[in-house]
Structure 1
Amino acid sequence: MAQAGTPEGGDNLVGRDRTFYINVRGEGGVLTFASALDAEIYCQRLHAAGMHGWRRQRLERIDLAQVMANIPLADRRLMLALGFFASDTNDLLLDANQTLITPLLPVPFDMHHPLHGMSQLRVKADVLSFIHEWWERIGGLNYPEQVHSLQHWSDIDLARCASEALQKAQIVGLAQYHDAWTSVGTVEECAVFVPESGNWQFTPLAGVRRRMLH
């Protein structure tokens, strides 16, 4: 995700794009998404919450070296969003800023700078294995196939599908959810929108659902 930077030093200069940096319980990093569709859903929800200007941006088009220049080496990481958190009543959850809450995987990385050509982002192989396993666990289809498929979607198609996903979602604030229900019997869920079926897939992450759905 990126937001166009403001011009600096005069009207003829273009400012650098800003990235969405997120910090959760002392762990921070550049917010990235395992799915382009999830990124578009998140951006549209940001817009609905009054946070304008954020857009999807392919990670390889973001100058991570520049973004992380003033951050200690040990703290340079991506915060990889893997679907969306949901209540055990099949509502997507919003935080205090009215943005969607996502399961986040902190991913350390390094940049390989060849003598010629573009710099390459490198992450450990076990991270990729975890992403594949998690995606299957939360009801997504074969992860590599979905990523490959979405690469061929136009921006219009992605925006339309994300809009459909948000129209079909029931969304509640986390505080409102806690006020309405006690913690007894709750089961944390993760949600992912499946374009092939046109529906959200909700998956309890532990135990079984004990509540009647609305």
Structure 2
Amino acid sequence: MRGKHLLGRRGCYLLTLHKRPGLFSRKSSMFIPTVATNLVCIQGSATCKGCPPGQFILPIIGRSCNNCPRDTYGAGGLSQCAICPFGTSSVAGSSSCTPNPLPSHRAQPREQKILSCPLYHALCPVMAGSGTFECVDIQNSLESCGGCVGGSPSTGEDCSAIPGADAVSCTNGRCAVTQCRGNLTVSLRSNSCVAAVIPTRKKGFFRRH
């Protein structure tokens, strides 16, 4: 059994060659794709690669590398970051933690913990600069659709903040607008509200015989 990688719409796929009985009792084979959760399809790259140190891969989506949040660090090529040990801190996108210059740093558990989230979830800051995080369902969350909002950098979208939208939803990590306010109408891509175009009648003409 061997495999190779393929760039797909939702990220990197591992194609594994499986052999199975075919017609006329001959053996046939086929490639079965599975999502490679620890690899990312970086734009412009011809292969699937791991993220560099200080960044992590969003599970399943896997189309870009994201900076580890503040006070965490990453070794690279992983879908999760580790929290800095007690007495140390880091800025977003760090591959290691440094000792705090002041002893009044907020209390942290003395044991190092791995911050990991279930499938289709991402580790997002509860409030920008607060240093606390929570697992968010980025596939269906209206306020963090497709990724974290308000982090550094922001990788998702707040569907509830779409201008002019009256009814929105988050499906598969994408905002969808179903109704707009006033004279606005849903865009062709159903991700925003645009001004309604009112068709005008063309004046007819008569041809004399």
Range into which the TM-score falls when normalised by the shorter chain: under 0.3
**Bigger proportion of residues as helix:** 1
Report which of the two structures shows the higher radius of gyration computed on alpha carbons. Answer: 2
Higher relative contact order, chain-length normalized (CA < 8 Å, sep 6+): 1
Instruction: Name the structure with the higher strand share.
Output: 2
- What TM-score, normalized to structure 2? 0.25
